[in-house]
Structure 1
C-alpha cells in the first residue's frame, strides 16, 4: 500500500464522467479501468477501461480500440469536469474505479492531510452528493502502523451512549467489571436491549476497522 492516506469516495450519478455514464447506459459494472500517465488536465490524457462488448449501446459515441474475448477495450478522453479528472488536477492518481448503473466509487491515495482536505473541499464544491466512505492511513517510515479512521457518525446517539457507558464501566475488560445487567441499570432498560445496541454499534465500527466491502 502506498504511503499516505487511502480514501474511498462515492458519487451518485456524477456529471461528465464517461465511466459512470456508460455503466448507466449499459446497465453494467465497470471496474477494469486505468488512466494514462500525467494529470487529466494535460492534452492527450485518456481513460482506458474494459467492458462486456454486448453491453455497450449501439449508439455509444466511441469505438473500442480492440477486444479481449467478449470484452472490449475503450480509450476515451477524460477531462476535469468529472471526479476522476478532478483528482488529476492535484496530481493524485486513482487507484481503483468501480462504476455501477451510473454510480461511481473511487479509491485514491492522498499524500497528507493538507492535500486530502483540499481535494475533499473541491469535491464538495463540484459534487455536493459526494460521500466520503472510508479513510485509512497507510504505513509510513517502514513501520507496521495501519491507522484506520472510524466514522462514529454511523452510530445512533443511543448506540454511542450505550457503547461509551459500557466501556467506562468495564464491560469490555477481562475479567469484566460490569455485565449487560449492570449497564442496563444505568439506562433503565433490559439487558437484551443493551446487548442489541452494543452488537449494532460494534458491527458498524468493525466495517471501518476491517474495511468491509473494499
Structure 2
C-alpha cells in the first residue's frame, strides 16, 4: 500500500518570494508558475480584488468578479520555498498566501522525505509550520487511535496549541491568522511560530513515530 503523505506547510515571510508580500493586503488564492526559461520563471497570481497598489509587483493581467490575476517574473535557482520542496522530488500541488505567509501543499512519498523537506525549509526559512498531514488511504471515515503524552509538551507549547486550535488557526478557511493568535497569547508572531514549530515536531513524532526535539 502507498505510504504517501499529503502535507500543507506554511512559511512566514519567506525569502525571495514575490507572492507572500502580496497577501498582506488581501488573500492570494492561487499561484501558477512556468518552467524556467533562460533563468526566469513567469508567475501568475490570483488574488482578492482588494490586492492592488504600487507595492504589488508585475502587472495586472485580468479581473473578474472578486478576483484579479497578476503576472510577474522571478529568477530561478534562488532556493525559494517552492524550489526547496521540489528539490526533494515533491511537486508543489497548490500555493496560496495569507497575512504574509505562503502556504504550500505537496505529497511526500513517506515520512522520511517529509521530515527532510520540513528540515530543509526550517534551515532556510524562519516560521515554518505544518498546517495539516494526511496519510495515503485515509478516507475520513476511519482512523487509527493515536495517543499523545501531554507531558511531552511544555506548558507554553500546550497553551500555544490550545489557543491556535480554539481560534481556528488550523481550519480552512482559517478562523485566525498567526498575528491574531500571537496577539491573543501576548507574544510576537515570531515567538508564536517558534513555539508552534517545536510543538508540531513533537506531534509529528507521536503520529508517525521517531524522535522529537526537546526544545
Out of 101, 104, 107, the residue aligned to residue 102 of structure 2 is 104
Equivalent residues of 2:12, 2:100 under 8 A apart: yes
Separation (CA, whole Å) in 2 of partners of 1:121 and 1:96: 20
Judged with a 3 Å threshold, the aligned counterparts in structure 2 of structure 1 residues 107 and 59 are, in CA distance, closer, same or farther, namely: closer
Separation (CA, whole Å) in 2 of partners of 1:43 and 1:150: 46
- 1:18 paired residue number: 18
Judged with a 3 Å threshold, the aligned counterparts in structure 2 of structure 1 residues 116 and 18 are, in CA distance, closer, same or farther, namely: same
What is the number of equivalent residue pairs in this alignment? Answer: 161
Secondary structure, aligned partner of 2:19: helix
- 1:129 paired residue number: 127
TM-score, normalisation: structure 1: 0.57
- 2:56 paired residue number: 60
Secondary structure, aligned partner of 2:14: coil
- 1:113 paired residue number: 111
Judged with a 3 Å threshold, the aligned counterparts in structure 2 of structure 1 residues 69 and 31 are, in CA distance, closer, same or farther, namely: closer
The answer for unaligned runs of 5 or more in structure 2 is 173-215
Alignment of 1:167-206 (within 5 A): none
- 2:92 paired residue number: 94
Aligned-residue Cα RMSD (Å) equals: 4.1
TM-score, normalisation: structure 2: 0.57
- 1:49 and 2:45 correspond: yes
Deviation at 1:102, TM superposition (A): 0.6
Separation (CA, whole Å) in 2 of partners of 1:15 and 1:81: 9
Equivalent residues of 1:134, 1:149 under 8 A apart: no
